[in-house]
Structure 1
Amino acid sequence: MFKYCVLKPVFDQAGLKPNVEGIYFVLILLSYVLIAAAGYIINDYFDLNIDQVNKPDKVIIDRVIRRRKALALHILLSMLAIGFSFIVDLRAGSKIAGLSAIACVILLFFYSTTLKKKFLIGNVLVAAITAWSIIALTWFEGNQFFLSKSRAGNLEIEKIFRLTVLYTGFAFIISLIREVVKDMEDVEGDRKYGCKTMPIVWGYNATKVFVMVWLIVLIAMVGTTQVYVIQFGWWISIVYSVFLIIGPLLNISRKLFSAQSPAHYHKLSSLIKLVMLTGILSMGFFLIYSDVICRYF
């Protein structure tokens, strides 16, 4: 959606053809999907004991698939993802896709083995990897603008930069919030196996304050964007954002401080995932109002 709803209108206005099209775009999509899948597998592999405490009914390793096969599948998916990324690099004339794929695979491996048990580091890492996919796509597609010395090229860079920062920031913050809420849900198993997550180190109340601060930042960011687009008459977008992004975020804020049990935090996590979805779908408005974006945004 970021490619076709946000970046494509800017490219069309400038009369430039994107670097990553057709099969190459499919390959980069597959690469990130496979990286995520491999990350989940290796995380489940190393979290088997913790998951047997936190979510015994959802354990897959050693119940649906043997540990050795899970590890082999992780390696296979990771290698495919890296291979696909280097093919995209050959097309885009860069090295960023392949190198970033390698970095993501390595970081997710160390996240699963060590970093997720550390205070805040694992949370920030997962949020950063989630947000990185938008930055990477902007680089693949936009390096024509970055290499341009013309005034027109510089204006397009500014548009792309603003939109990239907007959705990168949203992706990072909402992912960080969800990661910390998941830690509050999983305290029992994490504490039993020596994890030093925020709710274990700081306690629930301080952790809730941390999450609340980021919720306020996110609400302010989305709200400011809607105030900005009032001048363009994006009323459908404003109504959508108020009721399907800001409203649910306010609801999450309200329920956060009354949450007590893992079931409460699980519901909050599900609500946060819903906001992730509505945030992603909001990109569609940039396609609907593409003429305004190309002229003013």
Structure 2
Amino acid sequence: MTLQRVNKGGLVLLGCGKMGSAMLQGWLAQGVKPTSVSILDPAPSDWVQALQSDGVGVNTELPEAPAVCIVAVKPQMMGDALPRLQAMGNGSTVFISVAAGTPIAAFEAVLGAQTPIIRAMPNTPAAVSKGITALIGNEQTSEDDLQMAENLLQAVGQTVRLENEGQMDAVTAVSGSGPAYVFHLIETLAAAGQAEGLSAELSLQLARATVAGAGALAEQSEDDPGQLRKNVTSPGGTTAAALEVLMDDRDGFPALLKRGVKAAADRSRELAK
């Protein structure tokens, strides 16, 4: 139903950077017709421009009433970008925003209160179809609209629905910003291995593979992360010695990540204002 609706009514993608390109690749692979896609981007990449030969419209005029419009511009560009879409508001077009820090009310103020608007928060693993996207719709959004959004966003990973928009700040702090925390873990784990005598190249290879493998195991296992941790930890062993440091109530991961996630959530709330 989603493909039929999109292919018949058309899809507009406002902004086609890394996230927009990742989503577009997924949609085209799923069966969205290139000729149903219109891209508006002031500086399209070579890959995006090459899509013109397949019938994708790049830097084209907006269709009058596409089935869906994906807003994938950076938050600081929103003020200039949104007015371009005003003519499509208060109609049948469903707007899906993947821009961080822009509340639904900001879209309603420009597009009209009768516009179906879905706010979504994907993350960068979407580039390898391993992302997760949280979404919430306004009162004008139907179940069919939400299902269409989920089907489109599942092209780059998992989706979850939120109970209210207020949860988006916490989602931003956990999964939106979370990949950066994991990348930093890889950096610091590799540096620690190097400090213990490993070469930089070998230590980084070990750290990358360990984090990727542990993540895959955590996602696929029936055990929760706490049990998986215990499975690796022998009493009095090497892992237990490290965890005694890492799980310290004051200086370990629990306190550090709680402060970090709170800082990110607080900043998300500030940006929304």
Q: Which has the higher helix share?
A: 1
Tell me, yes or no, whether TM beats 0.5: no
TM-score normalised over the length of structure 2? 0.27
Greater RCO, 1 or 2 (C-alpha within 8 Å, sep 6+): 1
Higher strand proportion? 2
